[in-house]
Amino acid sequence: MSADFPFFDANCVVGRTVRPLPTAMLHEPADILAELSAHGVPEALVAHANAIERDITAGNAKAAELARHSSATVHPAWVIPQHSALDIPDPGEFVASMLRHDVLAVRVPAASYHGHVVDEWALGPVWRELEAHRIPVLIDGSDLSRYPDQPSRGFSAANIHQLCGTFPQLPVVLLRINFSCLRIIVPLLRECPNLRVEISYFTAHRGLEQLVRHVGASRVVFGSGLPWTPPGPALASLLYAEISPADKALIAGDNLRGLLSDVRR
Amino acid sequence: MSTGGGPLTDGPALRSQALAGEPLGIPIIDAHSHLLSPSMRDVFVPYAEPAQMVATMDVYGIDSACVSVLGAGDANAETMEAAAAFPGRLIGFHLINPRYPGSMLEDLEASFAQPGMRGIGEVHPTSYHHDYPVTGPNYRAAWEFAAARHLPVLIHSGPRSEAHRCRPDDIGRVAADHPQMNVLIGHAGGYDSWEMLDEAIAVTRRLDNVYLEICAMGRHYGALEYMVAKAGAEKIVYGSDAPFHDWSAEIAHVALAKIGDDAKAAIFGGTMTRLLGAAR
């Protein structure tokens, strides 16, 4: 049962989006959190849509405010630009501010411009500071997360490999891997011990069983993909997977919980 | 068990079973699945042997799956063998390739001499498969064959970049010309485009013999509720695209949708039972 596992959503976005779906798409934080709860998911790492799509500072403030006024099961994630040298000139102060707001993870949408540049000089000094504090970085938008028919964009698999190698102590979570990535993601995970993958979009046939078999359950985290994708597919893929209950618990939430508890304040 | 109290208010029985990870206690027919080799060029496909497919179907409580091969059109014997090995569990759909029109009718007649073959598909007009428009004359023999036998015909539609090959309106033209065959618009035409989905819905509303098959739509929040509201549950059928995709995605899509259990029953198996029953 979903309630038997400590589900913790690693990929949840709240707030009004620029291009809503023509369905009854949810926007209000309370509605999205209620939707998660109705699916047996009581805990979420939440970023704000405005930060992802347009205004990072204003969106991050809303995410922190939401967490401040919510129960302890709502955790804010702040967005930073992929290339942050100009935006975050004082990494120490930025991370200190994060920690003051109990923000224990950052989310990095693939840059529309120069997204395939992940050298440290371009990413900016904050990435080394994030690594020092073991703050998880959620990578949002990569070749491994697009539907194969969609055009290539953002972080390539080679970029992720480079990134993980440049910052070997930085926990990196690749959001919404797709169904067709198994041949790449398994060797990538083997090469990069600091890499995890999130499964809101992962519909590979018996894919979870494959990941657990080849790299272990400790490398996989649950996510809903709300508000763009429903929580059901990832939930069902885990609940029906033929893996051990202990591995299900890791994927459902314990892995993410562990990453946040490992943050050095 | 999660009870929530949130926005999910309809279809409680199947929702509970899905959130418990239990086989769903309802007749389920998958209208869109495949027999694939694990050594496919572009996608790694584990557990794809017919016996493994059936074993995985049991995990979810899927009674039957309509399976077809992909490729050149010379491997339908694999479908016949699988359907014969698992009668009633794997239902054979015959792949047609319009690039070989000369042997199309002969191949169809050979296939449908076998008891396990019940439909045609997945017709794949896309540039990355047969690259031949669904309205083209090379399909005509197959459409006439299907109409004479009232067969269900699954036709791929989408993505948007393939609209010139298999857009829903063009599939509708084919269906309108052959009202005795039942056409399933693969992926509900939507895939990556709400405009294409709306077009497919309009076709199903206009034509009695056209249905929406939903695989790949489960990744869009609220897509099934949207389709049910506009087309009606009786015009929608469950499909997975397994083993390209796991069966879980669309199982969850239907079982957890905010629609009644009656609507879920129609989508999961009611409508396909009727369509397969009509086939001669």
Phi/psi of residue B117, nearest 5 degrees = -95, 125
The pTM assigned to this predicted structure is: 0.95
Quick check: A30 contacting B, CB < 8 Å? no
Domain boundaries, chain A: 2-261
Assess contact for A218 and A253: CB atoms under 8 A: no
Chain A residues close to B59, C-beta within 8 Å: 240, 242
Percent of chain B exceeding pLDDT 70 equals 96
Chain A residues near residue B223 by CB distance under 8 angstroms: 23
pLDDT over 50 at B106, yes or no: yes
B254 and A CB contact within 8 Å: no
Show the DSSP H helices in chain A as ranges: 29-38, 49-53, 56-68, 91-100, 120-123, 126-132, 157-166, 182-191, 207-214, 232-239, 245-249, 255-261
What type of residue sits at position A141? Answer: G
Closest CA to B79 of B65, B66, B69: B69
Of A31, A180, A237, the CB nearest to B43: A180
Asked if the C-beta of B218 comes within 8 angstroms of chain A's C-beta atoms, the answer is yes
Given a cut of 70, whether residue B1 has pLDDT beyond it is no
On chain B, the residues whose CB falls within 8 A of the CB of A22 are 194, 226
Closest CA to B94 of B137, B214, B106, B29: B106
Chain A closest CA to B223's CA: distance in Å?
A: 6
Binary contact (A21, B225; C-beta < 8 A): no
Asked if pLDDT for residue A204 goes beyond 50, the answer is: yes
Q: Which CATH architecture has domain A2-261?
A: Alpha-Beta Barrel (3.20)
The answer on pLDDT for B24 being more than 80 is yes
DSSP A195: E
Q: Which two tokens stand for residue A106?
A: 């950052």
pLDDT score at B3: 30
Distance linking the first and last C-alpha atoms of chain B: 44
B152 touches chain A (CB under 8 A): no
| Better-scored residue on pLDDT, B51 or A148 | B51
Identify from A150, A152, A184, A203 which residue to disrupt to test chain B contact, counting B C-beta atoms within 10 A and taking the largest count. Answer: A203
Phi/psi at B266 (5° precision): -65, -45
Looking at A19-33, A37-51, A95-109, which range is the least confident one? A19-33
Say if residue A227 is preceded by a cis peptide, omega within 30 of 0: yes
Report pLDDT for A17.
Answer: 95
B153 close contact with A: CB closer than 8 A: no
Longest CA–CA span in chain B (Å) reads 60
Q: Is the peptide bond before A29 cis (omega within 30 degrees of 0)?
A: no
Residues B4, B19: Cα–Cα separation, whole Å: 11
Cβ A134 vs Cβ A171: under 8 Å: yes
**pLDDT band for position B280 (cuts 50, 70, 90):** confident
The answer to whether the bond into A120 is cis (omega within 30° of 0) is no
Q: What is the mean pLDDT of chain A?
A: 95
A245 and chain B in contact, CB less than 8 A: no
Question: Does A153 contact chain B (CB < 8 Å)?
Answer: no
Domains, in order of start, for chain B? 16-278 (3.20.20.140)
Q: How far apart are CA A5 and CA A239, in angstroms?
A: 9
> Which residues lie below 8 Å from residue A258, measured CB to CB, with a gap of 6+?
none
Q: Which pLDDT value is given to residue A147?
A: 80
DSSP string, B147-198: HHHT-EEEEE---GGGHHHH-HHHHHHHHHH-TTSEEEEEGGGTTT-HHHHH
Q: Is the pLDDT of residue A265 over 50?
A: yes
Cβ atoms of B53 and B242 closer than 8 Å: yes
Share above pLDDT 90 across residues of chain A, in percent, rounded to a whole number: 90
Of A21, A149, A239, the CB nearest to B220: A21
Distance from C-alpha of A164 to C-alpha of A159, rounded to nearest angstrom: 9
How far is it, in rounded angstroms, from Cα B157 to Cα B193? 11
> What count of CB pairs under 8 Å joins A to B?
159
What's at B193, amino acid-wise?
S
Please tell me the distance from the alpha carbon of residue A144 to that of residue A160, in angstroms, as a whole number: 10
pLDDT at residue A56 is higher than 90: yes
**pLDDT of the residue at B7:** 40
Find out whether B152 and B119 touch, Cβ atoms under 8 Å: yes
Contact A102, A76 (CB under 8 A): yes
- What's the half-sphere exposure (Cβ side, CA atoms, 13 Å) at A167? 26
Chain B residues in contact with A184 by the CB 8 A cut-off are none
- Residue-wise pLDDT tens digits, A66-109: 999 998 899 999 999 999 999 999 999 999 999 999 999 999 99
Give dist(CA A142, CA A39) in Å, integer: 27
* CA B35 to each of CA B81, B108, B160, B206, B223: distance values in angstroms, whole numbers, following the listed order: 11, 18, 26, 33, 27
Beta bridge partners of B208: none
- Output the CA torsion B174→B187→B268→B11 (10° steps): -130
The pLDDT of A115-125, averaged and rounded, is 96
Query: Above pLDDT 90, what percent of chain B?
Result: 86
Give the pair of three-digit tokens for residue A148.
Answer: 């194969």
Give the C-alpha separation, B275 to B212, whole Å: 13
Closest CA to B247 of B70, B63, B119, B123: B63
Report, as an integer, the average pLDDT of B216-235.
Answer: 95
Q: Does residue B56 sit at the A interface (CB-CB below 8 Å)?
A: yes
What's residue B10's pLDDT? 57
Cβ of B46 within 8 Å of Cβ of A1? The answer is no
- Taking the Cβ of residue B191 and every Cβ of chain A, the question of whether any pair is shorter than 8 Å is answered with yes
Q: Cβ B253–A233 below 8 Å, yes or no?
A: yes
B1 touches chain A (CB under 8 A): yes
Contact B120, B151 (CB under 8 A): yes
**Of A78, A65, A74, the residue nearest A36 (C-alpha):** A74
Q: In this complex, is the C-beta atom of A182 within 8 Å of any C-beta atom belonging to chain B?
A: yes
Residue B8: its pLDDT value, please?
A: 42
Q: Give me the phi and psi of B92, to 5 degrees please.
A: -80, 130
Q: Where are the alpha helices (DSSP H) in A18-112?
A: 29-38, 49-53, 56-68, 91-100
The predicted model gives B215-244 an average pLDDT of 96
Q: B6 and A242: CB-CB below 8 Å?
A: no
pLDDT digits (tens, 9 = 90+) for B169-212: 999 999 999 999 999 999 999 888 899 999 999 999 999 999 99
Residue A55 neighbours by CB under 8 Å, 6+ apart: none
Task: Express each pLDDT in A121-159 by its tens digit.
Answer: 999 999 999 999 999 999 999 989 888 777 777 899 999
